[in-house]
Amino acid sequence: MTPAARLSAAIEVLDQYLSGTAAEKALTNWARRSRFAGSKDRAAVRDIVFDCLRKRGAYARLELTGRGLVICHAAAKSTSVEEVSDLFSGEGHAPSALVAEERVALISTSPRDSVEAVYNMPEWLSEELKTSVGAGAEAIASGLTERATTFLRVNLSRWSLKNAIGLLAKDGVIAIPHDLAKTALEVVENPRKIAASTAYISGLVELQDAASQSLCEGLPAANRMLDYCAGGGGKVLAYGDKNKAALFAHDANPQRLRDLGPRAKRAGLKVQVLTTEACKTAAPFDLVLCDVPCSGSGAWRRSPEGKWALTHDAFADLLVVQQEILREAAPLVAPDGVLAFATCSVFRRENEDQIAKFCDDNDGWHCSFERRYSPLEGGDGFYIAYLTRPKPS
């Protein structure tokens, strides 16, 4: 496919997305209809689509259509309107030629003409961000428009960083250490080759964001650790690689845990999966980690649809769910044990405010540690707080 044909494909995918289809589904639908497209073409079209989703606020200044978004994407990558016109020529599989109004709009409008354009998120969320982080809000919003870095976690109980880098390189995956975590490798070339690499298949490395790895590295040592909102189980596996603890995992949706068994086996770990009732029977635990459902705002580089889909009501519902999970998990913690609360959110109302409310509502509990991970540090945006349960008087 030519560069212009890839733009046409991205317009088609984005129009389907704007009509209500999830971006991944729209990309899959296009790929099935376009058997002629090679792997590099599919990757290029995906990159265009996700760039348009990350920067939708700035790119929608012509109009909120697939064509409008892709014209502005092309303009951002070009040095002149003439370069954009060359791509939008209408020849072959290229998009139809720019009309006079589009050319004028490209020249006369700015990617910073509105709050949504500057922050690339709905205006109410930009206000939420400014309230949460103050003067750094615009820088964080800008950081969330960049493509996410691919990180690997090295299983240091079985392998060294140096050896992992060498083994990955043999399969064409080039990676370098990252400062956020001792276990973290930043993949700088060929991330799409990871799944077929010997290091990945043999369990020597796992895909995991660097900030998430750092969060796991810092968790206190425990004899019995429960990951209460385990999802795919990445955090309990990371914790088990560093700590000789009995490991337990739970999720409100057991289907999310379906791959944990094979992943744990590949990593050489044993993780016992518990139902909600079984958690109560197996308690107490020295450490209970609650990586709660949240806005996902710290990971909007990876999932940019989320910021455009999130509503006021859905956000309010998340705040309620987060408190409910804390109330459910608190009785599972041993006296003097730690309830670790985590989100991949940059919003204060999901982070510090939730901890303050829990401590106000539960006598004796106190926050012994908290830390924000900014997306500007290289990984996703995260928040972690340790709540210590009081000893019986």
Closest-CA residue to 16 (of 1, 6, 7, 27): 27
Closest-CA residue to 243 (of 201, 275, 282, 286): 286
Strand partners, 285: 333
Strand partners, 283: none
3-state secondary structure 229-270: CCCCCHHHHHHHHHCCCEEEECCCCHHHHCCHHHHHHHHCCC
Q: Is-catalytic flag, 344?
A: yes
Q: Would the annotation count 286 as a binding residue?
A: no
Point out the catalytic residue in the list 216, 229, 279, 344: 344
Q: Would the annotation count 86 as a binding residue?
A: no
In sequence order, which residues have a C-beta less than 8 Å from that of residue 372 and are 6 or more positions away? 346, 351, 381, 382, 383
Query: Please, is 190 exposed, middle or buried when counting C-beta atoms within 10 Å of its C-beta (0-12, 13-18, 19+)?
Result: middle
* Distance spanning both ends of the chain, measured CA to CA: 72
- Residue ranges for the known binding site for S-adenosyl-L-methionine are 251, 291
- Residue ranges for the known binding site are 251, 291
What are the residue numbers of the active site?
344
